[in-house]
Structure formats: C-alpha cells, structure tokens
Structure 1
Amino acid sequence: MTDSARLKNPLPAARALAPGSAVILRHYDDKNRAGLARQLIALCRPRHILVLVAGDARLALSTGADGLHLPEAMMARRRQLLRPSMLLSVAAHSPKSLAKAAKAGADFALLSPVLPTKSHPGDSTIGILRFAAWALRAPLAVYAMGGINDQNVRRLGGSGAVGWAAIEGLSKNLDVAR
C-alpha cells in the first residue's frame, strides 16, 4: 500500500515487487493521483503486478486499474460500480466486517492491525492467534496487514492468511527514493 508521507514516489518500490504482487495506490493528497495511477499501471501490468486504487471507483475505472480498495466504512455494496473483471478489496478489522465484506462482493479483505504499527501507535492489535481464528473462519480470502514485515511474516504460517500487505514493512528494506 502506498503512503505519500512515508514514500513520496511509490514507483521504485513497485519496481522491486515480484510478479503476482499488488500495489494499492492511496496517495489521496497527490494532485496528480490519476497520472500516478497510470504510471503505476504502465510499470506494473507488464510485470504481472496488479494495481488497485483506494477509495475512488471513478479513478479506478478511468485509469484501467485492476481493482478498487475500500476502507471499511465505504464497503457497502460497491461491487456494482466496477467492471466484472475488476477486483474489490476492503479493509476489515473484525469478524463482523469480514462478513460484511463478503456480502458486499469483495474478492478479499485486508484484516488489520495484526501487530503494532508505526501508522497507528498505541492502537490495540488483533494479534496472530486472533487473526488466525478470524481468517480461518472468514467467508473470503484474507490478507494480514499491520506490523507485518520480512522479519515476522513467518509467524503467519497456518493462520489462514493468503498473503500479507504492508505500508512500511516492504519499503524500509528497499533502496528506494523516499
């Protein structure tokens, strides 16, 4: 997930991702967000990296993004706004929100925060065991997010996570322009 405060230019980080990865473009305050989305798509698509736009279905559609990512508060029945081939991901923070995400037609959810994060210091976390209990019972695919990095990702083994998402967990270890 991009974050303009931590990584102004997400292109070098996207370039370092492996095929099969995805980028969720946040950069909400970027005046040229549409241009940045198009740049990411041009960079990522030939490398088999998906690009989802956060919070803006019109932008996702107009740029040809692979999908839309929605905060939990925005998830109510947005599937019908998208082309059938587009992915819909949502942020989730509880079993109830995972069920709502599935009912809204989401393809997958980012369940967070699993572990303590720099972006939400002091907030309560789900923890690995509770994450596993929720993810294993979830009615859709669940990615772990929040405090996950290359040092602790192995703790997710057997948790039901289909993968993991990060804001800083990836970029801090890359030699990229911040």
Structure 2
Amino acid sequence: MIDEAGIEEVMVEKRKVVHVAVAVILGDDGRVLLARRPEDKHMGGLWEFPGGKVEAGEDIKLALNRELREELDIEVSVFSPLIKIRHDYPDKSVLLDTWVVSGIQGEPKGNEGQLIQWVEQDCLNDYEFPEANKVILRALQLPDRYMITGHFEEKETLFNRVSTALDNGIRLIQFRAHWLEENEYLRLAQELSGVVQAAGGTLIIKGDFSLLSEPWCHGLHLTSRQLTLPTKPEKRHVDQLLVASCHDEQQIKDAEAMAVDMITVSPIKPTSSHPQAIPLGFEQAANLTDVAKVPVFWLGGMGLGDIEVACQSGAQGIAAIRSFWK
C-alpha cells in the first residue's frame, strides 16, 4: 500500500516536464542581464534570467536565440552549458536547461514591457528570484574546479601547496586530513581558512555539524553517513556552503533534504585512494547528474581534461586531489 507521500511522489514523477531554455546573459564587462517579471504575471515583481519553453525537437541554442529575440530584441553567438535543474511546482514541473551566453548582437530592451537591468555578479544576491532560479544563481557563483588537499607531513607543505593552487586560480578547496587528531585538524583548518579567504576563495572542512557555528568556518562537506542523521545542519551565515558526498540516487535525495548547496558524485573512474570502489563511469555519472537538483562535481580519477566532459553532461565541474595537489 502506498502512503500519501508515496502517491504524491509517483504523481510528480508521472507529471509532464516542461523543457525551458534559460539564458544567463553576460555583457562584455562581466555584468549579468536580469529581467523583472511584470506585476500582473505569475511570481510578478521577482527578478529572473530570461528564457522560455523549448519547442518539440527544437535545438536548445536556436530556442535560446528565439526567446531572446522575442523578449529582449537581441541574439547571442557564444553558448556555454551551466546547469540543468528540474523544479517541481504545485501545478507543473520544469526542466531549466541553463546556459551562459555572450556575444550579444543588438541593444537589449524589454519587448514585453518588463524592466531589465545589468547587475554586477557580486550583487546578484541582493535581488529576489523565483525559487527555481536560486540554484542557477548558486551554479553561476561556483567555479568548475573543487580541490581536495592530499597527504602532507609538514604544515609548510600544506600551506605551500594550497597557496600554489590559489595562485593557479583555484577558489574552492576542501581541507582533508583524516590522519590528524581533531584538535590539530581544526587548528590548521582555522589558520588555512584565513589564507584561502584572503585570496578570495572558500575553504570547506569536514566534521560535526556544530562546526558551522564557528565564525571562521565557510563551508562543511558532509559524508554520505552524515546524510542519514536525524538532525540537519544549520548554516549560520549566507556565505557558508554545504557540500555532500553522494554515490547513488538515494544519497542525492538525502543530500537535497539537508538543503546542501552542491554535491560530489563519485567515483567516476578507478582511484588509488579507494581501490575497492566500483567506478560509475561517465554514463552513470551523467544519469545521476540529471537527477540532482543542485550543482554536481564529478570526483574520482578526474583530470583537467575531464572538465569539458563533465560540464557538457550537466555537471558544474570536477573535484580532485591528485590533479590539483601535485
């Protein structure tokens, strides 16, 4: 017998999904073009990324330019996939097929009477978006590389390699050092967090949910075991990131129930750190990425050459130890 929650889930799964093309439009100066929904429309007054429904059999790039012509009287020539997110509203489900676009031809204007505005990327959080657009906003703010620190014996090695990574443009780093005692790990994590933040990056640490109350903690990476705990982590400020390790569809659902900002899916390829783990492979990783409603980083044997494959499959990018640590 299926309970009410089960019936609702089945109904959502059977519901027709509307394919929507979404454009994050970048100007030559890096600003993003937003449109404000007219007050008399659904979710009126909220800001959004322009776009619209993809017709049956229509190429996504053609759909984006058709919608941009209709809404803004422009076309674009450069397309880069950002994220695909399914969002379930009470009355319908939508698949937001989101692309970062540039190479604007024409002068943008609100053809449908909507207000449009160019916004600095650092100021996007000041605008109120529909719920479905918030994941797009997070994906836009995340990089395509997530570094995990490797083994070290001396503190100097840790800080030198992290500094090198920061110099090479890495801005999202997980401090992993499971061989250290907790007090030593946290002492180093606090010091390292200041170094990473000073360079404009974010340091993700591992440990108990209570670490989120530490003012220096800017992110927590949850293990798959932590996803089954009865309590939920509570972020203390808007800039904190919650990340989770996932290996299957159920863990992805558990992570989303924890309101995480992003997940890692692993292992994609065989790894020396987890030689017994059965790799997912690109196809299964892509399927799990399609299921996720948050940005996904592929982890496990990933190299810089895999970033394009991951992104083309809907992932945010890659996470790695070896490729970034040495």
Q: Which category describes the TM-score, using the shorter chain as reference length?
A: 0.7 to 0.9
2:288 counterpart letter in structure 1:
W
What are the Cα deviations for residues 60-92 of structure 1, in whole angstroms up to 9, with x where unaligned? 533612111110110244332x31422111100
Does structure 1 conserve the Cα–Cα contact (< 8 Å) formed by 2:176 and 2:206?
A: yes
1:15 counterpart letter in structure 2:
S
Residue 132 and residue 94 in structure 1: after superposition, are their counterparts in 2 closer, same or farther (change >3 A)? same
Q: Which runs of no fewer than 5 residues in structure 1 stay unpaired?
A: 173-178
TM-score normalised over the length of structure 1: 0.84
Q: Which runs of no fewer than 5 residues in structure 2 stay unpaired?
A: 1-147
Partner of 2:220: 68
What are the Cα deviations for residues 114-138 of structure 1, in whole angstroms up to 9, with x where unaligned? 1111101142111111111110221
Structure 2 residue 272 is matched with structure 1 residue 118: yes
Q: How many residues align?
A: 169
Percent sequence identity over matched residues?
Answer: 23
SS in 1 for 2:205: strand
Please identify the structure whose Cα radius of gyration is greater.
Answer: 2
2:270 counterpart letter in structure 1:
P
2:208 counterpart letter in structure 1:
D
Does structure 1 conserve the Cα–Cα contact (< 8 Å) formed by 2:149 and 2:325?
A: no
CA distance in 2, matches of 1:28, 1:91: 15
What are the Cα deviations for residues 95-148 of structure 1, in whole angstroms up to 9, with x where unaligned? 111111001111111110011111011421111111111102212111111100
> Which of 239, 259, 263 in structure 2 is aligned with 1:105?
259
TM-score normalised over the length of structure 2: 0.48
Structure 2 residue 167 is matched with structure 1 residue 22: no
Does structure 1 conserve the Cα–Cα contact (< 8 Å) formed by 2:176 and 2:205?
A: yes
Partner of 2:245: 91
1:37 counterpart letter in structure 2:
A
For the aligned residue pairs, the C-alpha RMSD in angstroms reads 2.0
CA distance in 1, matches of 2:197, 2:260: 22
Structure 2 residue 198 is matched with structure 1 residue 46: yes
Does structure 1 conserve the Cα–Cα contact (< 8 Å) formed by 2:209 and 2:233?
A: no
CA distance in 2, matches of 1:44, 1:130: 34
1:50 positional shift: 0.3
1:152 positional shift: 3.7
CA distance in 2, matches of 1:63, 1:83: 8
Residue 12 and residue 78 in structure 1: after superposition, are their counterparts in 2 closer, same or farther (change >3 A)? farther
SS in 2 for 1:147: coil
Residue 61 and residue 52 in structure 1: after superposition, are their counterparts in 2 closer, same or farther (change >3 A)? farther
Structure with the greater relative contact order (CA < 8 A, sep ≥ 6): 1 or 2? Answer: 1
SS in 2 for 1:169: helix
SS in 1 for 2:203: strand
SS in 1 for 2:259: coil
Partner of 1:175: none
Structure 2 residue 185 is matched with structure 1 residue 33: yes
SS in 2 for 1:110: strand
Residue 153 and residue 163 in structure 1: after superposition, are their counterparts in 2 closer, same or farther (change >3 A)? closer
1:90 counterpart letter in structure 2:
A
Does structure 1 conserve the Cα–Cα contact (< 8 Å) formed by 2:269 and 2:280?
A: yes
CA distance in 2, matches of 1:125, 1:163: 18
> Which of 161, 170, 178 in structure 2 is aligned with 1:13?
161
What are the Cα deviations for residues 37-77 of structure 1, in whole angstroms up to 9, with x where unaligned? 12211211011110111123334533612111110110244
What are the Cα deviations for residues 155-177 of structure 1, in whole angstroms up to 9, with x where unaligned? 324111102111222113xxxxx
